[in-house]
Amino acid sequence: MVYAPIAKLDNFTGEENDAQIWLNNNTANSWYQSLVNKPQDFNAFKAEFLRYFSNNNSINCLVNAFTTIKQEETEAVTTYLGCFHQNLCQIQAIDANYFTAPQILNQFICGLRSSILQHVQSLHPGTLQDAVTHTRDFESAKSEANHAQTINLVMNGSSELDSKLEKFSESINKRLEGYLADNHAIYQPPQ
């Protein structure tokens, strides 16, 4: 996973008029509004602003990356879980109490692909471990069901599958007959 800062500072020169432009940005404005102790002068503002926005390894960037993790449609649960856990550990290394257990649980569930998300939500897991267990169980059951369906088709046949195989066999036989007729080849079985 690649981390990117929430905001790029390429255009922030540190001049007072630049500060006003940046405060019109929703992210910067939200940050400023959330400050309990607002800076009393421009230099203090600039120092706080740069501290918050310029560090690519800051908790803000990690949180942004963490809250946007989504399981891809073909991605295994273990891959998604590994990425989720890695990002969470990076945040908790900086601030162990940044997220509450319910927030972590909610983020995990919301990042699941839709088919798994709906199933796990319906089970109302109380902990992250419960959600992980339900997710793995669902993926395992889905995989077994797909495997069983494939075996069933092979063992019992399917009129659609049989029809396609029959047409394919006929096509091959016609091509073979045409080839043999064009080349005047006659098949002689071994003696």
pLDDT per position as a tens digit, 89-130: 888 877 788 899 999 999 999 999 988 999 899 999 999 999
Tell me if 63 sits within 8 A of 98, measured CB to CB: yes
pLDDT for res 123: 92
Asked whether residue 11 carries a pLDDT value surpassing 70, the answer given is no
∠ Cα 116 119 124 (to 5°): 125
Which has more confidence, 163 or 110? 110
**CB-based burial, 122-159: b 16+ in 10 Å, e otherwise:** eeebeebeebbebbeebbeeeeeeeeeeeeeeeeeeee
- 170 DSSP assignment: H
Asked whether residue 6 carries a pLDDT value surpassing 50, the answer given is no
Banded pLDDT at 9 (limits 50, 70, 90): very low
User: What does pTM read for this prediction?
Assistant: 0.52
Which has more confidence, 104 or 153? 104
Maximum average pLDDT range among 7-16, 76-85, 141-150: 76-85
pLDDT for res 169: 76
DSSP labels, 59-81: HHHHHHHHHT----TT--HHHHH
